[in-house]
Amino acid sequence: MESRIVSSVPVFHSFLLELIEARLAIGLNDHSKTDIMRVAEELRTAGIIAGVQDLCDQLANQEITHPLWQRVIQVATIGETYFFRDRSQMDVLKHSTLPHLIQNRQDTGLKRLRIWSAGCSTGEEPYSIAIMLRDLVPDIKNWDIHILATDLNKNYLERAKRGLYRSWSFRSETPPTCQQQWFVKAEGGYQIDVSIREMVTFAPLNLADEMYTVFNHPVMQMDIILCRNVLIYFDRFTVSNIIKRFHGALNETGWLVLGHSESSHMTSQPFQVHNFDGAVHYQKQRPPECPTRATTPVMNNEPVSKPRLLAARLAQKHDPVVPAAERVTAPSRVPTDKLDPWTLAHYAANREDWEEALHWLNEAEQENVMRPEIHYLRGVIELQRDEIEKSLMSLRRAIYCKNDFVLAHFTVGEIFEKLGHLKKAASHWTHAHQILDCLSPDQFIEHSDKLTVEMLKTVLEYRLENLSAAPQRHL
């Protein structure tokens, strides 16, 4: 029998799942989706939330360390791991990367190592590195060694800190000496030696966040970053950004170690590829200086206009109900260095110079990745280029940055309708309509030129009406 929450307002169910996917940058499988709806029902029954809509509101306004997020994360993440997982990679670390690094540090007299296990789950990976270092560095007491281990899931981190493991954490790849030397049998499993436990610092961190800080300090100057079997859950855009951030967190010659299936993301990244027997490790390379773009538009000193309503223009292509926005032509005399990247992106988009616009959007994003209009404009451009999946991701990012970004909801609805996902389209359009309900009818919609709240409401009502008139099988 369906639980009450499953049969309640379904538009918020898909919104909840999309919110979780966007914030954690992961793709949820059907199993996780069912689990999340079960958790929502449990929370409602316990009186912690009023319903799915309330859960969406609360999650949208909270950090991932908040208990509600953690309840969701418990069922959304997979923590499969064990000691010395992927022997060939561990062997390369033990016999090549780490010995060279240690030798180099000894030669320079700077006995310091910084290693980060990103997505450490219950701690088997960082503890494996600590055990390795105990074997490799005889005078370890004279060294300044920090192993940072981070994960989204606080429950995993708590288990990691306890250091109590069941036999499932020791598999065939785990060297038998590991358990014999560094664990004692205890009630409920095997307890890790305190000297190993003390080498690792555990902290929560969402890899999808734009900045990596732990205890309010930026994560930087790392010698090695291990991020294995984590990126598989993310889309390419997110992976590319995570790898850029890893690049920034490494020191000049630092190493990045990914899981086997994750190496496909490393093409065109500023890392040198080192092929070892059965494993690939990546070493940081400084990116070449960014050349000035020859195609930079020349601007005049007209005042910069508001970003125009690309969505309306887009919608107009398909449906005359949305009024056209006036075309804004790029002025032509102010030097481009007087204008910010967002404005340049906007002008380029108005000229339909998509390449140029995307270039400036990337620049704008470097300045502030949380500006929703950047993701929105990118989404609209991608839609123009028929890059539907990319567009959906960008628009979802816009919504993640600004939950009430009405044009982003509207455009996502447009895409879903065209894809035949009518329930999802209805969900986004209903949400957009609810946002507009709180605004005055003659107010202009943010990021549009000439579209008022009333006009967009009319469009949405028309769209929703058409949907409900659609044949039942499509809904």
Residues near ligand SAM, by CB under 6 A? 24-26, 77-81, 85, 119-121, 125, 151-153, 156, 205-208, 228-230, 233
Burial 206-239 (b: 16+ CB within 10 A, else e): bbbbeebeeeeeebeebbbbbbbbbbebbbeebb
For β-strands 217-218 and 112-118, DSSP reports them as unpaired
In whole angstroms, how close is the CB of 27 to ligand SAM at the nearest point?
Answer: 11
In whole angstroms, how close is the CB of 200 to ligand SAM at the nearest point?
Answer: 13
Whole-angstrom Cα distance, residue 168 to residue 189?
10
In whole angstroms, how close is the CB of 86 to ligand SAM at the nearest point?
Answer: 7
429 token code pair: 């359009």
In whole angstroms, how close is the CB of 10 to ligand SAM at the nearest point?
Answer: 26
| Nearer CB in complex with ligand SAM: 83/360 | 83
Alpha carbon separation from 110 to 93, 94, 95, 255, 474 (Å, rounded): 20, 20, 21, 18, 66
Backbone φ, ψ for residue 152 (5° rounding):
-75, -35
In whole angstroms, how close is the CB of 168 to ligand SAM at the nearest point?
Answer: 13
In whole angstroms, how close is the CB of 364 to ligand SAM at the nearest point?
Answer: 24
In whole angstroms, how close is the CB of 442 to ligand SAM at the nearest point?
Answer: 42
| Nearer CB in complex with ligand SAM: 155/296 | 155
Label residue 70 exposed, middle or buried (CB < 10 Å: 0-12, 13-18, 19+).
Answer: middle
| Nearer CB in complex with ligand SAM: 104/264 | 264
Beta partners for residue 113, in sequence order: 145
In whole angstroms, how close is the CB of 204 to ligand SAM at the nearest point?
Answer: 8
| Nearer CB in complex with ligand SAM: 76/383 | 76
| Nearer CB in complex with ligand SAM: 128/448 | 128
Whole-angstrom Cα distance, residue 209 to residue 186?
38
| Nearer CB in complex with ligand SAM: 24/75 | 24
| Nearer CB in complex with ligand SAM: 248/331 | 248
| Nearer CB in complex with ligand SAM: 12/183 | 183
Whole-angstrom Cα distance, residue 152 to residue 202?
11
Whole-angstrom Cα distance, residue 128 to residue 130?
5
| Nearer CB in complex with ligand SAM: 6/369 | 369
In whole angstroms, how close is the CB of 118 to ligand SAM at the nearest point?
Answer: 7
Burial 158-173 (b: 16+ CB within 10 A, else e): ebbeebbbeeebbeee
For every residue of 370-408, DSSP letters joined together read: T-HHHHHHHHHHHHHTT-HHHHHHHHHHHHHH-TT-HHH
* Percentage helix, strand, coil for the chain under 3-state DSSP, each rounded to 5: 50, 15, 35
Q: Which helix (H) or strand (E) holds 355?
A: helix 354-367
Alpha carbon separation from 322 to 79, 193, 218, 436, 440 (Å, rounded): 47, 67, 46, 16, 19
Alpha carbon separation from 402 to 36, 91, 98, 264, 460 (Å, rounded): 23, 45, 44, 32, 20
| Nearer CB in complex with ligand SAM: 263/285 | 263
| Nearer CB in complex with ligand SAM: 118/374 | 118
In whole angstroms, how close is the CB of 209 to ligand SAM at the nearest point?
Answer: 8
Q: How many residues does the chain have?
A: 475
